[in-house]
């Protein structure tokens, strides 16, 4: 892996092509070519949160947003604009807990395994205080605009 850059980074909203309350990643904490780390704080009133917790399956979106931040920062460094993306496949996903409590700070790590101009395959992890909570292997589509 290349050397990690630990910031400062632009605000997540500038790296992830979502708006308002759908931006769930608090901040990018580390970046390397095809690699990123980010944080999600589970907040009352946030998307997916009900009765004081988010279901563990929400980590799929958290992971995808850290992938988006990884690719968004890559584009930012190259002077290009942030591109849209979407999950098109999750080959494997292991959820080791049922829920994330409001107040939990989740550490998300994503590592590109391979990719092209329009597809990327990432291995992803969600942890809390060093405890592994979820893993996934995702395929994401990315382009200048959503497919018609």
Place of tokens 């997916």: 48
- The pLDDT-based confidence of 19 (bands split at 50, 70, 90) is low
17 found inside a domain: no
Query: pLDDT tier at 142 (50, 70, 90 boundaries)?
Result: confident
> Rounded distance, CA 83 to CA 142, Å?
6
- Flag whether pLDDT at 92 surpasses 90: yes
Instruction: For residue 22, tell me if it sits in a domain.
Output: no
Task: Specify the residue for token string 């205080």.
Answer: 129
Residue 90 falls inside a structural domain: yes
Angle at 20 between CA 89 and CA 140, to 5 degrees: 15
Question: Do the domain assignments include residue 16?
Answer: no
Q: What is the pLDDT of residue 148?
A: 53
Mean pLDDT of all residues in 87-102: 95
Phi, psi of 34 (to 5 degrees): 75, 15
Task: State the CATH number of the domain containing residue 69.
Answer: 3.10.129.10
**Which of 45-59, 82-96, 113-127 has the highest mean predicted lDDT (pLDDT)?**
45-59
Give pLDDT, residue 5: 92
Q: Residue 145 has which token pair?
A: 């605009």
Could you tell me the residue range of the domain that residue 76 belongs to?
36-143
Q: What is the mean pLDDT of residues 106-131?
A: 93
Residue 77 counted as domain residue = yes
Please tell me the pTM assigned to this model: 0.91
Per DSSP, the residues of 92-134 read EEEESSSEEETTPEEEEEEEEEEE-SSEEEEEEEEEETTEEEE
Under the banding of pLDDT at 50, 70 and 90, the label for residue 27 is very high
- 137 vs 115 pLDDT, higher one: 137
Report pLDDT for 21.
Answer: 74
Asked if residue 12 belongs to a domain, the reply is no
Give the pLDDT of residue 13.
Answer: 87
Task: Report the domain count for the chain.
Answer: 1
49 belongs to a structural domain: yes
Q: Within a domain: residue 23?
A: no
The length of the chain, given as a count of residues: 148
């Amino acid at each position: 892996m290349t050397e990690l850059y630990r910031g400062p980074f632009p605000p997540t909203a500038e790296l992830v092509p979502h708006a308002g309350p759908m931006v769930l990643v608090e901040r990018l904490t580390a970046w390397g070519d095809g690699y990123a780390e980010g944080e999600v704080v589970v907040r009352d009133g946030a998307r997916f949160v009900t009765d004081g917790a988010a279901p563990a399956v929400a980590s799929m979106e958290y992971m995808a947003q850290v992938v988006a931040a990884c690719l968004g920062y890559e584009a930012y460094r190259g002077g290009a604009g942030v591109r849209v993306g979407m999950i098109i496949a999750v080959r494997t996903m292991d959820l080791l807990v049922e829920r994330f409590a409001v107040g939990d700070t989740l550490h998300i790590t994503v590592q590109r395994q391979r990719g092209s101009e329009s597809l990327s395959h990432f291995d992803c992890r969600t942890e809390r205080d060093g405890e592994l909570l979820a893993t996934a292997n995702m395929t994401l589509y990315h382009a200048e605009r959503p497919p018609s």
